[in-house]
């Protein structure tokens, strides 16, 4: 027997009128409509023809769309809500602010940046800004906050997207975010259950595992999800993450090869989350194209198995006709039981009633505020002021071992060399970033306005790629002969500023050093020229360059962050940020291998 929903209890707390709407809506559904209510569609277009076609053909419960300008997203969501048979859940990814809902929204900052302010009010403000801007364009759900723990600095997915490595801080800031966004009638789905940040593999592309024992898990992620459930968390996203040691303790006879990721695992969702932790809310799968899910079993089985395991919403069709048919077949052949099917639909309809969608029957156009009023909510001066405050307060001076390095003024350091330090390049990410202005270009502008003479280092690879093709091979072969006198640096520059732009979300979150030797790409010259390293993305760049004496985490390269950084370098503003993670990666000095070598 599965743990069935109680719509009178939190997070729903529905009155009888709302419960009657849920039950009557379910009672009047055809089988195809019930099957459709299990799916979240990723919109491919914003045309009325496409949107109404998806709703008519597949009876979807929800949408998570590709973001675009606020005016376009508003029009899209107006069509969805006014022409759907049942009101829709419309979700955005407001992890860092309203920019997760619309491209012209306010980016306050990734969670770790907000946490580094060391003031919980900014987690509330992040939720508030997200809620204002997402609800303005018709969203009523968000796949945030991220409540993973950054316990493995090599993890490429959540290093700057989640709050902290600390359980209490994660709970506190997540509650503040929830409060801020729920005040604007947005349903938060915390992610990624049962907890990322322990493994270093990317579950988009590979098996990913949380290897904690049950005792360890209950003291960390179990506490997080349990306390957030007590606080009324309405939604959870099930990650494609295994929890093998916990599952083994719960079912000692089970072999590792039999264990499934949480999104397909009844033990983890029904027995552990809903059973032991008492969670009564709704569960959505993480995206179903991710390898850790889709490679777990044939997709024909995987689609209905996700719902039978305890998920209530299946995130994204692969092929709509196939997935819809396979879900229906799963129900008809008993893989998906009627009890679980109806419980899933009740939970989703319960969310819709929780945000009051049932009250707009016959006047659906009133679900959304008037467009002119909505557009006035996007990227306001008040929201941008919050983003500016976060940018100023978050910047963290992690390592300060160079005596008298500050202030960075033209009188002390007239000639500055900025060096871009990057990570793995390639794929669509590199193509999208190709036209993006580098942070080094903006930093050059800022420093020049302050009276410095600034050069940006052009890497050996960049110079070679500009050569005629017939000359490139010889130039590459000659890379190792590119060594040069140290005086080329000491005679020409007073300070070198390394900007590390290695974004989390790639397969590998590490600096990729170029093959060239003796060039400024790698800071070998820390005892020759005053050197400052600033990471403008993930917070663990120091692990790859522990030789540097001055290391700063800025958490992103937004204009307001770089302006605040320049003021701090110049001594006009204090470094007040407090790192929410072990940014110095002290584990590198605390391994069994190192301890043995000291004997």
Predicted confidence (pLDDT) at residue 337 exceeds the cutoff of 80: yes
Q: Give the Cα separation of 430 and 283 in Å (integer).
A: 33
Lowest mean pLDDT among 8-12, 295-299, 403-407, 490-494: 295-299
Q: Give the Cα separation of 291 and 240 in Å (integer).
A: 9
Q: Decide if 337 contacts 308 (C-beta within 8 A).
A: yes
In this prediction the pTM is: 0.92
Show the tokens assigned to 30. Answer: 């055809």
How would DSSP label each residue in 491-527? TT-SEEEEEEE--TTSS--S----S-SSSTTS---TT
The confidence score (pLDDT) of residue 463 equals 65
What is the mean pLDDT of the segment spanning 201-208?
75
Q: Give the Cα separation of 177 and 131 in Å (integer).
A: 10
What is the mean pLDDT of the segment spanning 542-564?
95
Q: Decide if 568 contacts 574 (C-beta within 8 A).
A: yes
Show the tokens assigned to 79. Answer: 């069509």
37 SS3 class: coil
Task: Pick the closest to residue 286 from 251, 241, 345 (CA basis).
Answer: 241
- Active-site residue 286, yes or no? yes
The confidence score (pLDDT) of residue 86 equals 95
Predicted confidence (pLDDT) at residue 596 exceeds the cutoff of 50: no
Residue 130 phi, psi dihedral angles, 5° rounding = -60, -45
pLDDT tens for 529-551 read 999 999 998 899 999 999 999 99
Predicted confidence (pLDDT) at residue 585 exceeds the cutoff of 60: yes
Backbone φ/ψ region at 28: left (φ over 0), alpha (ψ -120 to 50), beta: alpha
Q: Decide if 290 contacts 240 (C-beta within 8 A).
A: yes
Residues 282/286/287/293 CA torsion (nearest 10 deg) = -120
Catalytic entry in 119, 199, 270, 286 = 286
pLDDT band at residue 233, thresholds of 50, 70 and 90? very high
Predicted confidence (pLDDT) at residue 476 exceeds the cutoff of 80: no
How would DSSP label each residue in 337-405? -HHHHHHHHHHHHHHHHHTTGGGGTT-GGGSSPPHHHHHTTTT-HHHHHHHHHHHHHH-EEEEE-STT-
What is the mean pLDDT of the segment spanning 336-349?
98
Q: Give the Cα separation of 537 and 555 in Å (integer).
A: 5
For the chain, percent of residues with pLDDT exceeding 90: 75
Task: Pick the closest to residue 580 from 211, 106, 151, 156 (CA basis).
Answer: 151
What is the mean pLDDT of the segment spanning 371-377?
97
Q: Give the Cα separation of 241 and 261 in Å (integer).
A: 5
pLDDT band at residue 276, thresholds of 50, 70 and 90? very high
Rounded to the nearest 5 degrees, what angle is found at the Cα of 544, between the Cα atoms of 540 and 548?
Answer: 95
Residue 538 CB contacts under 8 Å (≥ 6 apart), including other chains? 159, 160, 502, 503, 504, 509
How would DSSP label each residue in 208-233? -B----HHHHHHTHHHHHHHHHHTT-
The confidence score (pLDDT) of residue 154 equals 86
Show the tokens assigned to 395. Answer: 């910047």
pLDDT tens for 404-455 read 999 999 999 999 999 998 876 544 344 344 456 789 999 999 999 999 999 9
The confidence score (pLDDT) of residue 590 equals 52
- Half-sphere CA count of 101, side-chain side, radius 13 A: 37
Predicted confidence (pLDDT) at residue 508 exceeds the cutoff of 90: no
pLDDT band at residue 466, thresholds of 50, 70 and 90? low
Predicted confidence (pLDDT) at residue 292 exceeds the cutoff of 60: yes
């Amino acid at each position: 027997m599965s743990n069935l929903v109680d719509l009178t209890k939190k997070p729903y707390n529905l009155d009888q009128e709302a419960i009657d709407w849920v039950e009557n809506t379910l009672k009047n559904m055809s089988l195809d409509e019930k099957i459709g209510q299990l799916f979240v569609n990723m919109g491919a277009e914003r045309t009325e023809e496409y949107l109404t076609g998806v709703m008519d053909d597949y009876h979807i419960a929800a949408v998570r769309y590709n973001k675009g300008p606020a005016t376009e997203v508003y029009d899209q969501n107006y069509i969805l809500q006014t022409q759907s048979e049942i009101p829709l859940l419309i979700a955005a990814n407001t992890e860092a602010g309203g920019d997760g809902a619309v491209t012209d929204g306010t980016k306050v900052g990734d969670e770790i940046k907000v946490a580094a302010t060391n003031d919980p009010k900014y987690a509330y403000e992040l939720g508030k800004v997200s809620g204002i801007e997402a609800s303005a364009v018709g969203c009523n759900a968000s796949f945030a906050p991220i409540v993973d723990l950054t316990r493995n600095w090599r993890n490429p997915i959540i290093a700057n997207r989640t709050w902290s490595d600390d359980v209490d801080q994660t709970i506190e800031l997540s509650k503040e975010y929830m409060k801020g966004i729920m005040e604007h009638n947005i349903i938060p789905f915390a992610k990624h259950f049962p907890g990322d940040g322990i493994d270093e593999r990317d579950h988009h592309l590979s098996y990913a595992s949380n290897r904690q024992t049950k005792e360890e898990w209950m003291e960390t992620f179990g506490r997080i999800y349990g306390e957030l459930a007590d606080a009324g968390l309405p939604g959870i996203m099930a990650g494609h993450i295994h929890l093998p040691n916990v599952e083994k303790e719960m079912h000692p006879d089970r072999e590792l090869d039999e264990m499934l990721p949480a999104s397909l695992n009844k033990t983890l969702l029904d027995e552990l989350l809903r059973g032991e932790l008492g969670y009564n809310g709704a569960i959505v799968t993480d995206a179903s194209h991710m390898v850790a899910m889709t490679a777990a079993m044939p997709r024909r089985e995987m689609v209905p198995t996700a719902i039978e395991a305890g998920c209530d919403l299946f995130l994204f069709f692969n092929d709509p006709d196939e997935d819809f048919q396979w879900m229906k077949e799963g129900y008809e052949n008993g893989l998906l039981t009627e009890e679980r099917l109806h419980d899933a639909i009740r939970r989703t309809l319960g969310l819709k009633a929780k945000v009051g969608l049932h009250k707009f029957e016959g006047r659906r156009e009133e679900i959304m505020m008037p467009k002119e009023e909505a557009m006035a909510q996007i990227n306001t001066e008040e929201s941008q002021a919050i983003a500016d405050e976060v940018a100023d307060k978050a910047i963290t001076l992690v390592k300060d071992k160079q005596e008298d390095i500050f202030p960075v003024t033209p009188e002390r350091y007239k000639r500055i060399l900025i060096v871009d330090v990057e990570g793995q390049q390639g794929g669509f990410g590199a193509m999208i970033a190709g036209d993006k202005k580098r942070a080094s270009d903006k930093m050059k502008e800022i420093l020049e306005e302050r009276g410095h003479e600034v050069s940006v280092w052009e890497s050996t690879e960049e110079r070679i790629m500009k050569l005629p093709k017939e000359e490139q091979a010889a130039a590459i072969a000659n890379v190792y002969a590119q060594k040069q006198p140290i005086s080329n640096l000491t005679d020409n520059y007073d300070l070198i500023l390394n900007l590390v732009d290695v974004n989390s979300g790639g397969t590998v979150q590490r600096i990729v050093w170029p093959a060239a030797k003796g060039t400024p790409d790698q800071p070998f010259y820390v005892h020759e020229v005053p050197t400052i390293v600033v990471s403008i993305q993930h917070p663990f760049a120091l692990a790859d360059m522990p030789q540097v004496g001055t290391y700063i985490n800025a958490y992103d390269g937004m204009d307001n962050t770089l302006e605040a950084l320049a003021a701090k370098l110049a001594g006009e503003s204090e470094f007040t940020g407090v790192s929410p993670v072990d940014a110095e990666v002290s584990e590198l000095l605390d391994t069994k291998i190192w301890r043995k070598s000291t004997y």
